[in-house]
Every structure is written in structure tokens, then in C-alpha cells.
Amino acid sequence: MESVMNFVIEIIREPAIFLGLIALTGLLLLKKDISTIVSGTAKTIIGVVILTQGTNILVSSIEPLTAGFNLMYDIQETEVNPALGSDQVLSQYGTQIGIAMLAAFAINLLVARFTKIKHVFLTGHMLFWFPFIFVAVGVENNLSNVQLIIFASIMTALYIIIAPALLRPFVRKVTGSDDFIIGHPTTILSLIAGGVGKLFGTKGRSSEDIKFPKSTEFLREISITSSITMFLVYLVVSIIIGFDTATEAFAAEQNLFIYSLMQGVLFGAGLTILLLGVRMMLAEIIPAFQGISQKWIPNAVPALDAPILFPYAPNAVLIGFIVSMVTSVATIFITGSLGIFSFVIVPLTITCFFEIGTAAIIGNGTGGLKGAIAGSAVAGVVMILLVGLSVPILNGTIADWIVIFGGNDFSLWAFMTDWIAKLF
């Protein structure tokens, strides 16, 4: 029985296989011919793999910047050192995490089937990481194994039901349709950016309406624009901290100018690959999901990973990343100088790109270009404060993980559910 459960967990944790099975199920329910079923399933899987590889390239191209910003603002490496640590939590409580994940997904399906909240959370790896967070919160509060499973199952179910529903109207404003919504820990940052955009933005001019002179129309290509932008970011950081220091910080094995250029090109290539995967996957999963919506869960829509939104405003993604890096690093410097936190927070380049990049799209949807900029700026500050609130909650377990991947819904929900765990 345990081996079967582990097999199911591995399937859900693997986005390509999980979404491929969803597409297969939908196409079978629609009674499509064998050729359409095989093609739609295969293209969904391949599209997700392409998206994932593009994501991996993007991460590898921006990760060295963390070391550069650390040196620029004299930020020391994190001193967070929990008693257990994320690896030990995964190894010791993997069964509880897996059971909670499956139970929460089952609850999501029942709620989508029998209530007016009509979405199914299909971001498989996030279906795993949220019970991981809640199990850690439970461990911090000395819950027993049974209590851990109940607590993590309920909290994960609440998250995957509530968070996408809150973001749904904002996603609809961006896409102009209800074909899908977002199931990703960007929710709190995106809601903030959407609210700020509505207050301070102007709807007239979108981030995608940026005008270029005829001689520079090539900048309309997001692959070129993103490559040049990241090249300049690396170059500016290198100039500020010094070329010798930058070479060491980036672990560059070639001339720093060439290294910066290639990191920029790598970023542009990764974004291009990611967008290709998104388009390929959406072209198959949305029609296929109609089978599930029609036969099993009427009017349901899939809640998918955040990069699904990137093609709708790729300029906003870049704006969100750059603006939030500036405001978040400034916040780290200010909080560190004032001694607000008893631990060191390092720049969160991954959260800035994926979570706040998505938030910038939402801010652009409510307030245009100004909304994207203002929303990203505020989200960058909030991100650091969320890390600061959540690390003490998880100080004995996964604080080492949250200082790298937090500053988003992971941090917020860990903080909010800590008092609930105490009731257990």
C-alpha cells in the first residue's frame, strides 16, 4: 500500500506526467479518436517539459546575481541554521506530507464538484510543497503524526481552494477569459500588486505598449530585450563591486564582459523556451480539460503554474524582476542596518522573477505600466517582510528553505497557520 501511495505521489510531483494524465483523461471523456488522444497527451507532456527546461535555464542565469547583490550591499550569508533542516523534514515526515497532499487534492475535487468554487489545482509540485510547509509548522508545535496529517491536509486544502479563487478576477482581467487561473504561491504578492496598480496606475498605457524608435524595433522581441536587460544588469553590478570581485562572486571562468553577455543570452534563451512550452501546453491542456469540466466537474477550470501568464505581458515580467530586486535589496539593507531581524536575509532572485514577475503582470492588468512598476516595488518590500515574519515560525525546521524560496504565500501561510497549529 505504501509503495502505491509513493508511486501516486511521484506522479503528482512530476508536472509533465501529472498534466499529461489530466489531458489524457479529458480527451478520453470527450471520446476523441486515438490519434487525437495520443497527440494531445504527448504534446501536453512535451510542452510542460519544454516549460520546465526553460525555467531551469532562467534560474541558472539569474542565481549568480544573488552573490553580486550580497557584495554590493555588504550582506553576509544567511546565519539561519535550524535543528532539523529541510532535508531532514523531507526524510522524516515524507509519508505525512504525501498523505496530506493526496487528501487535500481529493478535498479540492469534491469542493469543485459540489460547490460554486469551480477550479482544480493542477500545479503538481506546489501540491507537494504546501503540505511540506504545513507539516513543518506542525512539527514546530509538537503535533503527533495523526495531528500532523489532519492539520497539513486541512491547511493545504484551504490554500489550494482559497488562493486561486482570490486571484481569479485579476487573471481574468489579464487574459480576457476564464480558461484557466493561477495556482502558485504568488497570490499575496499578486493581490498586492493588483491593488497598488489599481490605486496608483493608469489603465491607458500597458507595459506591452512601450514604443521603440524604428531603428530599435528589434527590441520588441522579448528574447532580445530580456537578453540585453540581463547583460546590462550583470555589467552594472560588476562595475559597482569591481571586476575582480565580480569574477569571483559569479565564479566566472571567462572575461567578465563575455560572461555577462552570455548570462544575458542564456536568460533570453530560457525565457524564449519557457514561452514556447507555455503556448504548446496551453494549446492542448485547455481543450482537453473541457472533458473533465463537462463530464465530472461542471464549469471547472484548471489552476496552473505562474509562467502560464508570462506570454500575456512579457515586458511586465522583466519590469517586475528588476524593480523588485532593487526594492527588496534596499529593504534588506535597511532592515539589516536597523537590526530589525535577528538573522540575515539574502536577495531572493527566484521569488523576484517568478512570483513578482507574475505580480507585475497583475499590476499591469489593473494599472498599466505604472501599475506594473508601483506594484512590483511594493511587492519587493513585502516579500522581505514576509521572510522576516516566517523564519522565526520555522526556526527549528525549514528556516533554511524559507530564506531561499519564501517571501510569498509559503511565508504568509506559515505565519497565519502557526496559531491554528497551537490549537491542536
pLDDT along the chain (424 residues), means of 10: 76 90 94 95 95 92 85 67 82 92 95 95 93 97 94 98 97 94 97 94 79 69 88 92 90 91 95 94 92 91 95 93 93 87 84 96 95 97 96 93 94 96 84
SS (H, E, C) 3-46: HHHHHHHHHHHCHHHHHHHHHHHHHHHCCCCHHHHHHHHHHHHH
Q: What is the pLDDT of residues 32-88, one digit of tens each?
A: 999 999 999 999 999 999 999 999 999 999 988 888 887 876 766 556 667 778 889
| Helix residue ranges, H only, 177-221 | 187-200
- Cα angle for residues 314, 368, 51 (degrees, 5° grid): 20
- The Cα 292–Cα 119 span in angstroms is 11
Closest CA to 65 of 255, 228, 249: 249
Q: Where do the structural domains in the chain lie, given as residue ranges?
A: 2-423
Do 100 and 128 touch, CB atoms closer than 8 A?
Answer: no
Give residue 180's pLDDT.
95
Residue showing cell 511594493:
378
Give residue 263's pLDDT.
94
- Cα pseudo-dihedral 78, 83, 87, 92, rounded to 10: -160
Give residue 212's pLDDT.
66
Give residue 11's pLDDT.
86
Q: What is the pLDDT of residues 180-220, one digit of tens each?
A: 999 999 999 999 999 999 998 777 688 888 776 777 667 67
Q: How many other β-carbons are positioned within 10 Å of the β-carbon of residue 406?
A: 29
C-alpha cell at 125: 509540485
Contacts of 48 (CB under 8 A, 6+ apart): 15, 16, 19, 20, 277, 281
Do 43 and 303 touch, CB atoms closer than 8 A?
Answer: no
Do 276 and 50 touch, CB atoms closer than 8 A?
Answer: yes
Residue 97 φ then ψ, to 5° = -60, -45
Mean pLDDT of the chain: 91
Cite the beta strand spans of 180-333 per DSSP E. 181-182, 301-304
- Using CA atoms, how far residue 54 sits from 57, 98, 182, 234, 408, in Å, is 5, 27, 19, 20, 22
Helix axes 349-393, 314-338, angle to 10 degrees: 40
Sheet holding 181-182, edge to edge: 119-121, 301-304, 181-182
- Using CA atoms, how far residue 72 sits from 64, 234, 242, 260, 333, in Å, is 13, 12, 9, 16, 10
Contacts of 128 (CB under 8 A, 6+ apart): 9, 12, 13, 97, 101
Do 386 and 72 touch, CB atoms closer than 8 A?
Answer: no
